[in-house]
Amino acid sequence: MDMMMDIHELDEGEVFRRLGTLDSGLTVAEAEARLDKYGPNRIQEIKRKPLILLFAENLYNVLAVLLWIAGALSFLIGSYQLGAAIISVILINAIFSFWQEYEAEKATEALKRILPVMATVIRDGSETEIPAHELVPGDLILLKEGDIVPADARIVEAHELKVDASTLTGESKPVRKVSHRIRKVRNYIEADNIVFAGTQVTSGTGRAIVFATAGKTEFSRIASMTQELKEEPSPLQMQISHAARIISIIAVLLGLTLLAVNIYIVKLPIYMALIFAIGLMVANVPEGLLPSVTLALAASARKMARQNALVKRLSSVETLGSTTIICTDKTGTLTRGEMTVRKIWVPYKTVEVTGSGYTPEGEFLHRGKPVSHRDIREIKLLFRAASFCNDSELVHDHEGWRVTGDPTEGALLVAAEKIGFDREAELKRMPRITELPFDSTRKSMSSIHEAGDGRVAYVKGAPRKIIRLSKWISVDGKVRALDDAERERINRIHDEVASRGLRVLAFAYRELPEDLESYTPEEVERDLVLVGMAAMYDPPRDGVGEAVIQCKMAGIRIIMITGDYGLTAEAIARNWG
């Protein structure tokens, strides 16, 4: 694996050479040799405890041992009914606890079912379908919409390829994948030219070369961590163990004291004194504590399961009561994930946008009045960039208006419809040549289009970056130079809008030179013409404010995780308490 840490930095030809394969794929003989060398492409399962031992663990915890002793002493003094009752409590509790944990254990086994059964590869120059466990490093695999990626692989060809990596990263938004080399990332996990086992192709097609299988894949490493995790006693288990020891010491001391009193003071026979002493010790054992705790935890676990929270061990339920910090995503978790454009800034006017949701109905108002035709031209230029740098779709069906794709991009499409920008017609007139997908490192996205005999790149991204990359600005339909003082003025406008809790994106374009041959961010995203900014609002989910208050009252600190601009995130956090 270590030799593949830089695989995202290689061009396609070097990837083929590094992995010892050809455009026609591996030969069958070479694939068989590599299968013998690397082994089958399966999640390596760690040997688990037999079920009988898992069940037995519920029979010898501290409280259960105390009850066993009490039961044995009950039989010793002839109280057979009490002894049988105590042992029944132990067994019923053990069966109940074992079943609860066994069901949760089966649910975690679903990790294995995520990986596909079959995979499409090219071997000896022919496309063929093979069992996924026969994949080896160097195999050239084919990817299409709906496929589950069978192994970690480097993309060498991509056509509008998007992958849902939520099983690996938790990020619900599909990520556009590319085939060119990528250098400015911290490691290959963040590279957009890598696909990982267990992720799903949501659209497009592509080819990729496998570089990791079985236990070397990222997916398998995650699965291994869940299997290798050593369980530690929960706070409740430690408290019960401590209480059981105290109860045992008190019971024994009281029993010995009563034994001594009966023998030396009351002068009872030793047999009778022993019966009284044992009876007192048994009476001090809380037989109902074990089933009471188990039933209370089981009820909580069932309640959490109805909220799609899986509890693997009952004792973990109580551990949640020790929570002091909650880290939570913002978009789609604390908020509804339904962005709405509220403001548009075009040099140098701030325009209010009315309407809400995804229905493209609303007005564009400047100082309370509808915008002029000249302003509409400038706004449409902004929305050309916003609509072209966009991979989402605005759909109208029997359920109404909805967005497929990213909510932020969807909000821009809705606003474009409101102003009367016909995206489909404009794309026919200026078809897309290629795209430089957005990534969190450079914080921008570019879409390159034909424009008559030339090419134009439309760019969107973080305002401060787009403003810094802009050499020109479009004002009232005229392009003029943009100096540092004006950049700082626009940055202050951005900060003022962001401080109100609105998410802001900036838009620009560039007419590309005829001699430009490579579409790289460094070559495309410079000397831009700034056209404006759009500010969006994502309403909070119902009950978020109340939940924040309850957490604060419980002494829990909430940390909001977001990619928003700092002022935007701070304003949102303050609004929610």
Residue 404: per-residue pLDDT:
79
Per residue in 65-84, pLDDT (tens digit) is 777 887 887 787 787 887 78
Q: Taking residues 259-287, report their average pLDDT.
A: 81
Q: What is the mean pLDDT of the chain?
A: 84
The residues spanned by each domain of the chain are 2-43+116-217, 51-109+232-322, 340-537, 543-575
Distance CA 98, CA 100 (A): 6
Q: Which amino acid appears at position 465 of this protein?
A: K
pLDDT at 102 over 90: no
The region of weakest confidence among 13-22, 246-255, 341-350, 408-417 is 246-255
Residue 170: per-residue pLDDT:
64
Q: Which residues contact 275 (CB under 8 A, 6 or more apart)?
A: 77, 78
| pTM of the predicted model as reported, rounded to 2 decimal places | 0.63
pLDDT at 510 over 80: yes
pLDDT at 519 over 50: yes
CATH number for domain 340-537, candidates 3.40.1110.10, 3.20.20.70, 3.30.420.300, 3.40.1180.10: 3.40.1110.10
Residues labelled as active-site residues:
329
Are 2-43+116-217 and 340-537 in the same CATH fold? Answer: no
Per residue in 403-457, pLDDT (tens digit) is 877 888 999 999 999 999 999 999 999 999 988 888 777 889 999 999 988 999 9
- Kindly indicate the confidence band of residue 50, based on its pLDDT and cuts at 50, 70 and 90: confident
SS3 of 482, please? coil
User: Could you tell me if 419 and 380 are in contact, meaning their C-beta atoms sit under 8 angstroms apart?
Assistant: yes
Alpha helices in 306-406 (DSSP H): 315-319, 373-388
Q: Counting Cβ atoms within 10 Å, is residue 338 exposed (0-12), middle (13-18) or buried (19+)?
A: middle
Q: In degrees rounded to 5, what are phi and psi of residue 390? A: -155, 130
Distance CA 165, CA 168 (A): 6
What percentage of residues in the chain have a pLDDT greater than 70?
Answer: 89
Highest averaged pLDDT of the listed ranges 254-263, 300-309, 342-351, 536-545: 342-351
- Kindly indicate the confidence band of residue 1, based on its pLDDT and cuts at 50, 70 and 90: very low
pLDDT at 529 over 80: yes
Determine which helix (DSSP H) or strand (DSSP E) holds 550, and give its type and residue range. Answer: helix 544-553
Angle, alpha carbons 542-548-553 (nearest 5°)? 140
Which bin fits 553, alpha (ψ -120 to 50), beta or left (φ > 0)? Answer: alpha
User: Could you tell me if 209 and 15 are in contact, meaning their C-beta atoms sit under 8 angstroms apart?
Assistant: yes
Distance CA 116, CA 200 (A): 10
User: Could you tell me if 181 and 8 are in contact, meaning their C-beta atoms sit under 8 angstroms apart?
Assistant: yes
Distance CA 523, CA 527 (A): 10
- Kindly indicate the confidence band of residue 310, based on its pLDDT and cuts at 50, 70 and 90: low
Highest averaged pLDDT of the listed ranges 74-78, 218-222, 225-229, 519-523: 519-523
Residue 92: per-residue pLDDT:
82
The region of weakest confidence among 131-140, 232-241, 513-522, 528-537 is 232-241
Choose between 345 and 440: higher pLDDT.
345
- Kindly indicate the confidence band of residue 239, based on its pLDDT and cuts at 50, 70 and 90: confident
Q: Taking residues 482-510, report their average pLDDT.
A: 94
Residue 267: per-residue pLDDT:
87
Q: Which amino acid appears at position 123 of this protein?
A: R
Dihedral sign for Cα atoms in the order 526, 530, 535, 536: negative
Per residue in 355-369, pLDDT (tens digit) is 988 899 999 999 999
Q: Taking residues 498-517, report their average pLDDT.
A: 92
Residues in the chain: 577
What percentage of residues in the chain have a pLDDT greater than 90?
Answer: 38
Distance CA 99, CA 309 (A): 17
Per residue in 26-36, pLDDT (tens digit) is 999 999 999 99
Residue 482: per-residue pLDDT:
95
Residue 100: per-residue pLDDT:
62
pLDDT at 264 over 60: yes
Identify the CATH number of the domain defined by range 2-43+116-217.
2.70.150.10
Rg (CA), the chain: 33
Q: Taking residues 244-252, report their average pLDDT.
A: 82
Per residue in 132-167, pLDDT (tens digit) is 999 999 999 999 988 999 999 999 998 878 888 877
Residue 412: per-residue pLDDT:
95
Alpha helices in 109-125 (DSSP H): 111-114
User: Could you tell me if 473 and 507 are in contact, meaning their C-beta atoms sit under 8 angstroms apart?
Assistant: no
Distance CA 230, CA 225 (A): 10
Per residue in 319-333, pLDDT (tens digit) is 777 788 999 888 777
Distance CA 516, CA 268 (A): 108
Residue 141: per-residue pLDDT:
96
